């Protein structure tokens, strides 16, 4: 075999360069003929790290970056609900805290707890009972307020995890050849009693 033919066979071919040259040739021919050249748009593939940092900086930004806009009402609804619950329970906690402080002292000028009752209601006869009621209400709304804050943090962390996992799954390759084949097979017994193999079924998992 001639040496020059061996050299030609061993020379690697830059397929990317050939593809670019082919595209340039087709574009030049299209421009010369007056036709419009349309370049196919590349499929958007999100970067998981960028989605993670965007979700950490601004709630919902990771979903916007991943172009999963339908998730925004879910997360923003969770944020608004938790914020409303936190503010409402905080206000109730402050009202009952002040009422509890007023009902526990002996100053007649501090009687904000009377605002919780209709005018003319007899409070003094059941004062000890109402002290316990105001204390329990104060502690209850404080617990609800803290729970609302934890729920807000939970929704925030869920949005961060969702943005990162969604971006990761967008680059996860699932082969179309994933299949399970079941076919007859011969099974070697090797028990010393019969030299013949046994018939059975074999499963082949292709991935």
Which residues, other chains included, contact 158 with Cβ-Cβ below 8 Å and sequence gap of 6+?
75
Contact 72, 64 (CB under 8 A): yes
Half-sphere exposure of 48 (CA within 13 A, CB side): 11
The mean predicted confidence, pLDDT, of the chain is: 79
> Where are the chain's structural domains?
3-33, 50-170
For the stretch 21-49, pLDDT in tens is 666 676 566 555 555 545 556 788 889 99
What confidence category does residue 136 fall into, taking pLDDT thresholds of 50, 70 and 90? Answer: very high
Task: Please give the radius of gyration of the chain, using alpha carbons only, rounded to the nearest integer.
Answer: 37
Neighbours of 99 (CB within 10 A): 23
Contact 139, 93 (CB under 8 A): no
Query: What pLDDT score was predicted for residue 115?
Result: 86
Enter the pTM of the model. Answer: 0.61
Does position 6 have pLDDT exceeding 50, yes or no? no
Which residues, other chains included, contact 51 with Cβ-Cβ below 8 Å and sequence gap of 6+?
62, 65, 66, 163, 164, 166, 167
**Percentage of residues in the chain with pLDDT exceeding 70?**
63
Query: What pLDDT score was predicted for residue 45?
Result: 86
For the stretch 57-113, pLDDT in tens is 999 999 999 999 999 999 999 999 999 999 999 999 999 999 998 888 877 778 888
For the stretch 115-128, pLDDT in tens is 888 888 888 788 88
Tell how far CA 82 is from the center of its chain.
18
Query: What pLDDT score was predicted for residue 203?
Result: 66
Question: Which three-class secondary structure state does DSSP give residue 175?
Answer: coil
Question: How many whole angstroms separate alpha carbon 108 and alpha carbon 134?
Answer: 17
């Amino acid at each position: 075999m001639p040496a020059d033919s061996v050299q030609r066979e061993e020379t690697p071919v830059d397929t990317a360069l050939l593809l670019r040259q082919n595209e340039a040739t087709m574009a030049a021919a299209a421009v010369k003929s007056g036709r419009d050249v349309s370049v196919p748009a590349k499929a958007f593939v999100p970067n998981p790290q960028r989605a993670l940092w965007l979700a950490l900086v601004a709630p919902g930004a990771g979903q916007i970056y991943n172009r999963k806009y339908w998730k925004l009402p879910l997360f923003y609804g969770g944020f608004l609900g938790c914020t409303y619950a936190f503010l409402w329970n905080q206000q109730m906690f402050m009202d009952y805290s002040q009422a509890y402080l007023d009902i526990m002292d002996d100053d007649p000028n501090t009687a904000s707890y009377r605002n919780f009752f209709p005018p003319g209601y007899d409070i003094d006869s059941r004062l000890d009972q109402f002290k316990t009621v105001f204390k329990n209400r104060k502690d209850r709304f404080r617990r609800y307020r803290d729970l609302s804050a934890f729920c807000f943090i939970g929704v925030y962390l869920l949005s961060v995890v969702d943005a990162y996992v969604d971006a990761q799954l967008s680059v996860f390759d699932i082969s179309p050849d994933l299949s399970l084949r079941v076919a007859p097979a011969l099974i070697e017994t090797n028990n010393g009693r019969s030299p013949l193999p046994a018939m059975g079924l074999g499963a082949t998992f292709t991935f």
